Structure 1
């Protein structure tokens, strides 16, 4: 959807209303950004084009900005475990295609790679490098994006604006990038510090309405900054092409099982908020800066973070907040057929998340952390 030549935002607002009002099922979609590693050195290997290309393409595998990054894009599924089976198959296909070229791993960032990397060729990526230069080359970050189908123009905006407050909890649960440039960064995830070098990152503004969203997009187009919604890069956004809420805050996970748990709670959380809206609840919309304060602590401390209630300021451990959330979300997950996936979430909580697991496996050695990630790529658990 391009808005660069629109005379005003009214037509775009009408398109957005039509997109989020059309009939649709309660589907979920998963996108996973993974890293290709040199088979001997374990450094990032900028040869994903060789892995993805060929006479027999796998439509689930896509190039991204870094030449060492491959994105798995799955078709919509009715249950998390259906999506997970597809993800297992896609990871297996990717590993076969990588063959002798390289190894694969899932995490929010590479533990010891240089701060700048090689970018893919092509008009889209070359435009990014022209605009952002070295900042584009530093985007060696790998995320897990979960799309959840939500219908109703007012409903989707209400859910989006309320869901912003839960981005720190999701970030803490999925934090999986404690190392950078060969050293322990002191953070649970370095990914937001690198992503934040680009504009329109982090916690998004509250939208208020689809008309206001369309007006913002039109302003961005007129200013030459946002040629379309695809450049609305926040950690949470409405996706006008798919008609989904896209949650982009989570780091890529080491195993399919970890992805299963994170995706399950994202989906349950979105539907729980939608159910509250349907019941007539006035979903609270927090001030952005309060959410950003929690978001920083989630990046620094992961599941060890002490997060503040965005309304009252009461401080509680992230793990405690998650235990309470899981109890609230469990009935919704059961209605969606995703209850079994919550076992994966509880395993992450028990172990302290991906960042804690990496540190335990590495014992201070970033190369050991990378080897551990590569070994875990095809692990069933």
Structure 2
């Protein structure tokens, strides 16, 4: 199969996908209600889409094309409200977060869809362990070559995205000591990690053709990279975010991506280099493990600094672009939490320290998702 042509999109437009947990309201464990939720959700006209995910206690929602973080909230809100209404009818709840804190992966069932069955046959138990929940952000790019430049520039900021969205400290009832344990499951897949260093669509197409000739890859869907091009949409897709606990934070993260993209297109602040990736895996690990307390190594200078400091410094640089694209409120929300060293992983740990019961933490997280006070 040849690589699809890179389609036109309006630069800096946004699309957001959120993978969400379906839990029962008895003990707040995962509940296999995806099919029932999809049936109920079909009755309500909504922007974007609602689709199944790998296992039957998951559901994915997505926006249509948005131009700002506020438009992302505007589309996610009616979808969220319809989800909550449908969940109430089924006596279940919908929860954000990158992992369910105490579910047992072996109890999961693969959703009955040809691609999911195919992946299950290929990856075995990893498919059930892929009951993890992420946010994907698409950003429109003016051309195929500009998309690859955007991709490699964004790669420097992968630790920002991980630390700001981290919401998966617990796995199967244990505190993993990671702020984002979800990504450890992603890294187990053989085609995960970083995209190849190609700065022209011609070079990227040559790489794709080599991979398809091996028989390992059939389409772009087979790559589980942290960021990948989506030629059919004319975007790049950033995939390292944990699903936040609220749609407001999800929209703020999209606003941050848009502001960075606007900075890249307007100022071309640096030219990506292959050597940027010398510290890529280290920086990514630091952000997953320590969140806001991580160390960031600048690939250009080799300087070590607190990741929090690098995030705040970057926000200062892009503030004007954020204002021009209506993302000032998004940056303000993220800046306030960054200054305080807060993210959703910290909130979950604080709740568990208080409650000493992960089921109660999940109940409170469900309340947060529906917009109710906790």
The normalised TM-score by structure 1 is 0.91
Q: Distance in 1 between matches of 2:227 and 2:275?
A: 15
Q: Distance in 2 between matches of 1:23 and 1:90?
A: 24
Q: Distance in 1 between matches of 2:346 and 2:333?
A: 16
Deviation at 1:129, TM superposition (A): 0.7
2:366 paired with 1:374: yes
Among 4, 18, 22, the residue aligned to 1:36: 22
Superposed CA offset, 1:49-73 (max 9, x none): 1101256265621111121111111
Q: Distance in 2 between matches of 1:108 and 1:375?
A: 16
Deviation at 1:44, TM superposition (A): 0.8
Could you say which residue in structure 2 is the equivalent of 1:72?
Answer: 61
Which secondary structure does the structure 2 equivalent of 1:307 belong to? strand
Could you say which residue in structure 1 is the equivalent of 2:344?
Answer: 354
Which secondary structure does the structure 2 equivalent of 1:77 belong to? coil
Does the 8 Å CA contact 1:26/1:78 hold for their aligned counterparts?
yes
Does the 8 Å CA contact 1:165/1:286 hold for their aligned counterparts?
no
Superposed CA offset, 1:162-213 (max 9, x none): 2111111211111110011111111101111111121222333322321222
Could you say which residue in structure 1 is the equivalent of 2:236?
Answer: 245
Could you say which residue in structure 2 is the equivalent of 1:56?
Answer: 43
Structure 2 unaligned segments of length 5 or more: list them.
none
Q: Structure 2 vs 1, CA of residues 380 and 286 (structure 1 numbering), >3 Å: closer, same or farther?
A: farther
Q: Structure 2 vs 1, CA of residues 164 and 39 (structure 1 numbering), >3 Å: closer, same or farther?
A: same
Moved more, 320-329 or 204-213: 204-213
Deviation at 1:220, TM superposition (A): 2.3
- What are the residue-to-residue correspondences of 1:94-109 with 2, within 5 Å? 94-101=83-90, 102-109=92-99
Superposed CA offset, 1:306-339 (max 9, x none): 1111122211111111111110111111111221
Q: Structure 2 vs 1, CA of residues 131 and 259 (structure 1 numbering), >3 Å: closer, same or farther?
A: same
Which secondary structure does the structure 2 equivalent of 1:219 belong to? helix
In the comparison of the two structures, how many residue pairs are matched? 365
Q: Distance in 1 between matches of 2:282 and 2:113?
A: 38
Q: Structure 2 vs 1, CA of residues 330 and 287 (structure 1 numbering), >3 Å: closer, same or farther?
A: closer
Could you say which residue in structure 2 is the equivalent of 1:9?
Answer: none
2:105 paired with 1:115: yes
Q: Distance in 2 between matches of 1:40 and 1:204?
A: 43
Structure 1 unaligned segments of length 5 or more: list them.
7-11
Could you say which residue in structure 1 is the equivalent of 2:119?
Answer: 128
Q: Distance in 1 between matches of 2:257 and 2:89?
A: 35
Q: Distance in 1 between matches of 2:352 and 2:130?
A: 24
2:325 paired with 1:325: no
